[in-house]
A = this chain, B = another copy of it.
Amino acid sequence: MRQSELFTKPRKDAPKDEISKSASLLIRAGYIDKLHSGVYTYLPLGLRVLKNIENIIREEINSLGAQELLLPSLHPKENWEKTGRWSAMDDLYKVTDSSGREFALAGTHEEVIVPLMKQFISSYKDLPVAVFQIQNKFRMELRAKSGILRGREFIMKDLYSFHADEGNLGAFYERAKDAYISIFKRAGIGERTHFTYASGGSFSKYSHEFQTVTEAGEDTIHICMKCGVAINDEVKKEHDVCSDCGMAEFKKEKAIEVGNIFKLKTKYSEPFDLTFKNERGENEKVLMGCYGIGLGRLMGAVAEVCADDKGLAWPDALAPFRYHMLLLGADAGTKRFAEELYTEFGKKNIPVLYDDREGVSAGEKFSVADLVGIPTRIVVSDTTVAKGMVEVKKRGEDATKLVLGPDLLRM
């Protein structure tokens, strides 16, 4: 894409009403825009990152054999009264229509997925089954000051699994855990993301979280010095030693929860009477698991931990473009060289942001490239073109190297 045609423009000044580093950088670089507290627009650059995250998540969740669907956001009050969460969940937005009928604006989807699956699950032969969606959630957050790390409206992948017995639930849970590990690794934050023992919050008694170490995190975790598994501070006093390896040496860190998985067991099958007939013809309750990842939060967490004082620095898999090509210099031959290279990238479907803006200084183009944080910067200037080359630099490294144009197309 030509940067001259991109309608967003980088901002020199940090927005005054953002205390979150990631939100401030994402706004300055033109990835997101704040509509109001906790509610953001994804601009073209930001939507490209979000789609990359979505594709990674979809691939990994599909590989579990889960089937994708799309649930609505407007839920009948009756469904939420059945689980008691109509009154118990204080971050639930409620809507009344002109006939006086009340609806929940879904912050989670157990209240509709369970009655839906009840239509299709009646026998042990229908189990196990897992379904997921990638869809909007609404939560009336009191602390919506962390940019897209904690939104009032946000996109989430939520996966629900249904099982005949605990062994089957446990086996799927382990596979889901591995898929999550793979997602965070592919998103570039694998090394600083820890599988964490945690309380169940409003969902269930026990849960596991994936916590990414960052000063911007609102949680505190204790990371086992031996195996890397962590314990959330909220349940640390129940755990003297690491739950996995038994060691007692921990490192305390601030972290942000980027994913969570719960064994719901019969918590939601009970209120909706979701049962199945076992092999002996007896009715049993269906056991459930649920597994969430907020896409915006993951994007914000990656932005947060991969940024430096010059701007964002995306991992390859999440970056909106593979290359950021800067045209410097006014020579007609230089421009022709850049245009031809851009055309070749297009033919090969290599995503490039091409800074073809005229009347913008080299210094300004360099600082914008650092701010936007595309992994590889390519400079096409009078000097490089005189040698028939371009200059290539990785974001976050100082070293540059001269490369032949055709070599770049093979990289």
Residues on A close to B: CB < 8 A?
Answer: 5-9, 33, 35-36, 39-44, 46-47, 50, 65, 67-76, 90, 93-95, 97-98, 105, 112, 116-117, 119-121, 126, 129, 131, 136, 138, 140, 152-153
Contact = CB atoms under 8 A, between A and B. Distances in A.
A74 B120 contact: no
A90 B72 CA distance: 22
A67 B44 contact: yes
Contacts of A67: 6-7, 44
Contacts of A94: 95
Contact of A73 (B33, B42, B131, B153): B153
Contacts of A95: 93-95, 105
B42 A69 contact: yes
Contact of A39 (B33, B47, B69, B74): B74
Given A90-B98, A120-B9, A136 B35 contact: no
Q: What are the nearest 8 A-B pairs in CB distance? A: A42-B70, A39-B72, A44-B67, A7-B129, A74-B153, A72-B153, A41-B71, A39-B74
A47 B68 contact: yes
A6 to B, nearest CB: 7
30 contacts: A5-B65, A6-B67, A7-B67, A7-B126, A7-B131, A8-B120, A33-B116, A35-B71, A35-B74, A35-B75, A35-B76, A35-B112, A35-B116, A36-B74, A36-B76, A39-B74, A41-B70, A41-B112, A42-B69, A44-B68, A46-B69, A47-B68, A72-B153, A73-B136, A90-B98, A93-B95, A93-B97, A94-B95, A95-B95, A98-B140
Contacts of A6: 67
A105 to B, nearest CB: 7
Copies of the chain in the assembly: 2
Nearest to A129: B7
A68 B44 CA distance: 6
A44 B69 contact: yes
A131 B140 CA distance: 29
A74 B152 contact: yes
A37 B69 CA distance: 19
Nearest to A5: B65
A72 B41 contact: yes
A274 B47 CA distance: 24
A70 B50 contact: yes
Contacts of A42: 69-70
Contacts of A8: 120
B74 A138 contact: yes
Given A46-B69, A95-B105, 19 more contacts: A7-B67, A7-B117, A35-B71, A35-B74, A36-B74, A41-B70, A43-B69, A44-B67, A44-B68, A47-B68, A50-B70, A73-B136, A73-B153, A74-B138, A90-B98, A93-B97, A97-B140, A98-B140, A136-B136
Contacts of A75: 35
A50 B133 CA distance: 14
B7 A72 contact: no
A240 to B, nearest CB: 39
Nearest to A38: B74
Contacts of A5: 65
Contacts of A7: 67, 117, 120-121, 126, 129, 131
